[in-house]
């Protein structure tokens, strides 16, 4: 009986170690530029609460969020602070703070004393999310068109040009990164903290859902052009045009989402 129990425990250990090894391999298979940037930041530590510590937390958040959104970390994967810290070469405190932010956004679930679980994807939940996102995005676009600074308008035009290029080349990774930049800039340009807090809770879930299904159900060039139109309208300072561009984009995103429900 003791021998049988020992063998069972040994088998579980081997399975767990194999799972963790494969997961770490997936984590480390990121673009070389991102890994090099992580190492540069990690070599310049600062006390907690300092700008450097905040930079490390933001860096950890961006790296983990991109891995989840692009499905390198898949729904149901079990993570740990120690594993992520070793993979990204960032201290555990910034990793912990990044995971707490991701938990608030619904991309991970923190299970006390058990680990961190990458959250599941549900198309019907996504449709409910879009009801909220449509109203927030229209508000942010209109406000951004009215309140954006000169440099912010220039950045909007640069993003629009990048989206045009992504549409021509069908570059999904470039599109995803530009989409994140546009979302962040749109929130910043609107100068409305209440709308910003709400919108930040929705963006990662929306981007991950898109990445999971776009190959089967989406028209990436069309979606990139719709984003470019939205960015240009904000840059041009036309609030009504920006709101219309937002509605056209959300019409497309909703039709794409409904198509995945019937797949």
Whether 185 and 171 map to the same domain: the answer is yes
Same domain, 127 and 111: no
What are the φ/ψ torsions at residue 121 (nearest 5 degrees)?
Answer: -120, 130
Q: What angle do CA 224, 227, 232 make, to 5 degrees?
A: 125
Residues 139 and 247 reside in one and the same domain: yes
Grade residue 207 by pLDDT with cuts at 50, 70 and 90: confident
- SS3 for 31? coil
Same domain, 63 and 103: yes
How many angstroms separate the CA atoms of 166 and 67, rounded?
A: 20
Same domain, 151 and 75: no
Q: Show which of 92, 118, 144 is a domain's final residue.
A: 118
* Domain span at 148: 123-261
Structure tokens at 186: 């749109």
End-to-end CA distance of the chain: 49
* Overall average pLDDT of the 203-222 stretch: 88
Q: What is the mean pLDDT of residues 83-103?
A: 94
Selection from 16-30, 115-129, 149-163, 249-263 with the highest mean pLDDT: 149-163
Residue 88 above 60 pLDDT?
yes
**Does one domain contain both 107 and 127?**
no
**If pLDDT is split at 50, 70 and 90, which confidence band does 25 have?**
low
* pTM score: 0.70
DSSP string for residues in 219-262: -HHHHHHHHHHHHHHHHTT-HHHHHHHHHHHHHHHHHHHHHHHT
What are the strands, taking DSSP E only, across the chain?
78-79, 108-111, 115-118
**Nearest C-alpha neighbor of 160 from the set 68, 74, 234:** 234
CA distance 135 to 236: 21
The mean-pLDDT minimum among 25-39, 61-75, 92-106, 113-127 falls in 25-39
């Amino acid at each position: 009986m003791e021998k049988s129990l020992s063998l069972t425990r040994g088998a579980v250990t081997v399975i767990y170690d194999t799972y963790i090894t494969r997961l770490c391999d997936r984590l480390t298979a990121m673009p070389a530029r991102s890994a090099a940037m992580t190492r540069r930041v990690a070599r310049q530590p600062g006390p907690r609460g300092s700008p450097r510590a905040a930079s490390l937390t933001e860096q950890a958040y961006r790296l983990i969020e991109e891995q989840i959104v692009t499905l390198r970390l898949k729904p149901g994967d079990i993570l740990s602070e120690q594993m992520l810290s070793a993979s990204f070469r960032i201290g555990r405190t910034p990793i912990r703070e990044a995971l707490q932010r991701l938990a608030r956004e619904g991309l991970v679930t923190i299970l006390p004393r058990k680990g961190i679980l990458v959250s599941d994807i549900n198309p019907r939940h996504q449709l409910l999310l879009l009801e909220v996102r449509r109203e927030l995005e229209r508000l942010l676009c209109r406000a951004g068109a009215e309140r954006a600074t000169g440099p912010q308008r220039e950045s909007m035009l640069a993003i629009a040009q990048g989206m045009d290029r992504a549409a021509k080349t069908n570059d999904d990774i470039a599109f995803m990164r530009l989409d994140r930049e546009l979302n962040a800039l749109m929130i910043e340009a609107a100068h409305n903290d209440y709308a910003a807090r709400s919108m930040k809770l929705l963006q990662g879930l929306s981007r991950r859902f898109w990445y999971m299904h776009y190959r089967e159900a989406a028209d990436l060039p069309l979606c990139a052009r719709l984003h470019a139109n939205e960015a240009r309208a904000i840059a041009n300072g036309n609030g009504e045009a920006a709101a219309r561009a937002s509605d056209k984009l959300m019409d497309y995103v909703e039709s794409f989402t409904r198509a995945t429900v019937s797949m």
